[in-house]
């Protein structure tokens, strides 16, 4: 009796192992890094301690993305709505690019990571702009993972800017109305040069987009976890990648 069960058990194990292998890698992963404040509260720490821990986790997750040869990692770091937070917290968040790059830019350069940014750059404080611009310049010839930081980013304001830019071109007779199509709009987004995300991850248990990549996520696969961003680990990232490769993407077809 026991013997006849063996092949069955073995088969399950093999399938399980096969499922654990990550072979279908998303080209572009976007992450809403949420839950820093709640993580800190849980530890009895001030919210900014959560942001600091979240910053260090960015480096860990970049390493995983690099290891799996993901091509683009877009991270939501600060939304156009996050200006509503207390001034002290906003100031800290605006200092984070500097703190992050001071520690990690040499590693990013070594790891062939290319730093890019999406969002309204001009409205950032000058010290924030300076740090980000420096990282972009220092890594512009790198050919590995694109680390795309969404800073002062909002999906709706992005679309408003696209509308204004196209309207201006129509007014100046550079674009005819019937030339406006999905490609023309797409090319004018902050992400115009990038493919749409294949996989969106949001941490912290919130099941919403919070104004992230509204156009670009039209056919993205979503994956949510209750884990707060500072605790989001390599293991959990791999779980998301495993879930992704089980999805059947149809894009409206059959």
Which residues form the catalytic set? 34, 82
In 3D space, the residue among 100, 130, 102, 132 whose CA is nearest the CA of residue 115 turns out to be: 132
- The beta strand positions in 68-145, using DSSP E, are 72-79, 114-118
| Contacts to ligand IPE by CB under 6 A | 32-38, 76-79, 82, 93, 204, 206, 208, 210
CB of residue 71 to ligand IPE, shortest distance in Å: 22
Given Mg ion, ligand IPE, none, residue 116, with its beta carbon under 5 to 8 Å by kind, binds none
Residue closer to ligand IPE, measured from CB, 37 or 197: 37
In 3D space, the residue among 187, 189, 111, 107 whose CA is nearest the CA of residue 153 turns out to be: 189
Given Mg ion, ligand IPE, none, residue 237, with its beta carbon under 5 to 8 Å by kind, binds none
Dist. CA 103–CA 137, nearest whole Å: 17
DSSP label of 160: H
Residue closer to ligand IPE, measured from CB, 48 or 166: 48
Residue closer to Mg ion, measured from CB, 56 or 206: 206
For 70, 71, 80, 146, 190, the CA distances from 153, given in Å and listed in that order, are 22, 21, 5, 17, 9
Given Mg ion, ligand IPE, none, residue 32, with its beta carbon under 5 to 8 Å by kind, binds ligand IPE
| Contacts to Mg ion by CB under 5 A | 34
Residue closer to ligand IPE, measured from CB, 78 or 237: 78
Is the CA virtual torsion 36, 38, 43, 47 positive or negative?
Answer: positive
Given ligand IPE, Mg ion, none, residue 107, with its beta carbon under 5 to 8 Å by kind, binds none
């Amino acid at each position: 009796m026991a013997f006849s069960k063996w092949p069955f058990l073995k088969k399950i194990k093999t399938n399980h192992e096969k499922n654990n292998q990550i072979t279908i890698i998303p080209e572009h992963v976007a992450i809403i890094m949420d839950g820093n404040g709640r993580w800190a509260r849980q530890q009895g720490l001030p919210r900014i301690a959560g942001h600091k821990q979240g910053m260090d986790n960015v480096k860990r997750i970049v390493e995983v993305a690099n290891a799996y040869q993901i091509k683009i990692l877009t991270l939501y770091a600060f939304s156009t709505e996050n200006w509503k937070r207390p001034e002290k917290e906003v100031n800290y968040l605006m200092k984070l690019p500097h703190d992050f790059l001071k520690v990690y830019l040499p590693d990013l350069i070594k790891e062939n990571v290319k730093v890019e940014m999406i969002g309204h750059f001009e409205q950032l404080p000058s010290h924030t702009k300076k740090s980000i611009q420096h990282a972009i310049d220092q890594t512009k010839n790198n050919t590995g993972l694109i680390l795309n930081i969404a800073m002062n980013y909002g999906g709706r304001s992005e679309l408003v800017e696209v509308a204004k830019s196209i309207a201006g071109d129509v007014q100046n007779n550079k674009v005819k109305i019937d030339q406006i199509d999905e490609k023309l709009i797409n090319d004018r987004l902050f992400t115009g040069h990038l493919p749409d995300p294949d996989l969106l991850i949001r941490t912290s248990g919130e099941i919403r987009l919070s104004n992230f990549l509204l156009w670009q996520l039209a056919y993205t696969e979503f994956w949510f976890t209750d884990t707060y961003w500072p605790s989001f680990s390599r293991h959990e990232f791999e779980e998301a990648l495993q879930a992704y490769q089980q999805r059947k993407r149809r894009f409206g077809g059959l």
